[in-house]
């Protein structure tokens, strides 16, 4: 899906084509200036699972926002999207959720449009960890939404 | 038992750290009260709040502070954290420890599972790459 690549792009401004699986959870931190506020973003990059119900419940503790990432090229990464989001919302009632379609550099704008229309949920951003497109914007938006809640 | 009284097996075992565990006591401000330093030395940080220099603890501090003795221990498996210059994979467990009426601590147990998870990571990596490859060939094909 590219979750780790998105975090690396955001925190370290770097990208690698090499795939390295995440075993459980990786923790990173970035301080973001949002208007008059300084936001400490502690990012829990959680290993991809077939379904969210497989994620250890303790990983949800302390979460103030969620970025749900799927791969625009892989239907298996978004075929459970509605059930996954319903489950996350049942665990984190008030947390804002950003839905992200990553790897937008690999398909055309027309295909993205078609994909948006087919999905049962609204996509917040289509991003590319490779080019950096929409990555800062997406993290800034979730930070702002967390501030507002 | 004195070293000279150890059996050959006990002498051999004493060269290792058989537990692979570190035990730390924090107060409700996250200040490190005591640490056995088995895996990493926290002496330099004694008296400082771990909530301020360990982002993982910072993110769950509210939950830790609110823990009661009767609560089940909180278990966080497979944490991949660059931690005091060690890049290992740890399991963390937290629970409230109240040895008497005056004292109450957040007990933090760290288990280094890097070696065990190293094998698991290789298996998962190969499995995930095979799944992606299979899906791509099916879509292209």
| Beta carbons within 10 angstroms of residue B89's beta carbon | 23
Please say whether the beta carbons of B42 and B35 come within 8 A.
Answer: yes
- Residues from chain A contacting residue B61 (CB–CB below 8 Å): 62
Lowest mean pLDDT among A11-20, A38-47, A105-114: A11-20
For residues B2-16, average pLDDT: 70
Classify burial at A84, counting beta carbons within 10 Å of its beta carbon; exposed 0-12, middle 13-18, buried 19 or more: buried
Closest CA to A100 of A35, A20, A42, A45: A45
Residue in chain A lying closest to B90 (CA):
A24
Cβ <8 Å between A47 and B120: no
Q: pLDDT grade, residue A43 (50/70/90)? A: very high
Nearest by CB: B121 against A23, A42, A59? A23
pTM score:
0.85
Cβ <8 Å between B76 and A25: yes
In this predicted structure, what is the pLDDT of residue A69?
95
End-to-end CA, chain B: 69
Cβ <8 Å between B139 and A29: no
Nearest by CB: A24 against B55, B63, B78? B78
The ipTM estimated for the assembled molecules is 0.83
Nearest by CB: A62 against B60, B128, B135? B60
Farthest-apart Cα atoms in chain A, separation: 41
Lowest mean pLDDT among A29-43, A83-97, B83-97: B83-97
For residues A27-38, average pLDDT: 90
Cβ <8 Å between A23 and B129: no
Classify burial at B57, counting beta carbons within 10 Å of its beta carbon; exposed 0-12, middle 13-18, buried 19 or more: buried
Cβ <8 Å between A26 and B125: no
In this predicted structure, what is the pLDDT of residue B106?
95
CATH of residue A18's domain is 3.40.50.300
Domain count within chain A: 1
Residue A91 has pLDDT above 60, yes or no: yes
In this predicted structure, what is the pLDDT of residue A119?
95
- Residues from chain A contacting residue B125 (CB–CB below 8 Å): 19-21
Please give the Cα distance from A21 to B77 (Å, whole number).
Answer: 16
Nearest by CB: A27 against B61, B81, B136? B81
In this predicted structure, what is the pLDDT of residue B4?
65
Q: Which domain holds residue A93?
A: 3-148
Residue in chain B lying closest to A1 (CA):
B132
Please enumerate residues of B whose Cβ is less than 8 A from a Cβ of A: 55-56, 58-63, 74-81, 89, 117, 120-121, 124-125, 128-129, 131-132, 135-136, 139
The contacts of residue A28 (CB under 8 Å, 6+ apart) are: A7, A11, A42, A43, A45, B55
Closest CA to B20 of B85, B104, B74, B89: B89
Q: CB-side exposure of A140: number of CA atoms within 13 Å?
A: 7
In this predicted structure, what is the pLDDT of residue A18?
80
Farthest-apart Cα atoms in chain B, separation: 71
Residue B1 has pLDDT above 70, yes or no: no
In this predicted structure, what is the pLDDT of residue B17?
63
Please give the Cα distance from B104 to B109 (Å, whole number).
Answer: 16
Residue A67 has pLDDT above 90, yes or no: yes
- Residues from chain B contacting residue A76 (CB–CB below 8 Å): 131, 135
Cβ <8 Å between B125 and A40: no
Count A/B contacts: CB-CB distance under 8 Å. Answer: 67
Q: pLDDT grade, residue B18 (50/70/90)? A: low
Tell me which of B73 and B87 has the higher pLDDT: B73
Residue B140 has pLDDT above 90, yes or no: no
- Residues from chain A contacting residue B116 (CB–CB below 8 Å): none
């Amino acid at each position: 899906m590219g979750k780790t690549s998105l975090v690396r792009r955001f925190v370290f401004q770097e990208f690698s084509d090499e795939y390295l699986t995440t075993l459980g959870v990786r923790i990173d931190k970035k301080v973001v200036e949002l208007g008059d506020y300084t936001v400490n973003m502690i990012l829990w990059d959680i290993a991809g699972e077939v379904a969210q119900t497989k994620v250890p419940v303790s990983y949800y503790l302390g979460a103030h926002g969620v970025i749900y990432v799927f791969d625009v090229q892989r239907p298996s990464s978004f075929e459970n999207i509605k059930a996954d989001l319903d489950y996350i919302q049942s665990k984190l009632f008030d947390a804002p959720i950003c839905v992200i379609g990553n790897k937008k550099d690999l398909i055309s704008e027309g295909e993205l449009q078609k994909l948006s229309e087919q999905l049962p949920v609204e996509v917040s951003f289509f991003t590319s960890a490779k080019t950096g497109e929409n990555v800062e914007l997406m993290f800034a938006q979730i930070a702002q939404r967390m501030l507002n809640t | 038992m004195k070293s000279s009284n150890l059996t050959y097996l006990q002498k051999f075992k004493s060269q290792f750290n058989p537990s692979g565990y570190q035990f730390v006591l924090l107060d409700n401000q996250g200040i490190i009260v005591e640490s056995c330093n088995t895996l990493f030395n926290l002496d330099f940080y004694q008296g400082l709040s771990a909530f301020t220099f360990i982002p993982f603890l910072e993110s769950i501090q509210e939950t830790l502070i609110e823990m009661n003795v009767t609560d089940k221990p909180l278990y966080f498996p497979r944490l991949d954290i660059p931690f005091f210059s060690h890049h290992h994979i740890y399991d963390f467990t937290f629970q409230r420890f109240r040895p008497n009426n005056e004292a109450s601590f957040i007990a933090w147990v760290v288990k280094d599972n890097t070696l065990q998870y190293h094998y698991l990571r290789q298996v998962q990596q190969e499995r995930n790459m095979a799944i992606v490859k299979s899906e791509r060939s099916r879509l292209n094909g």
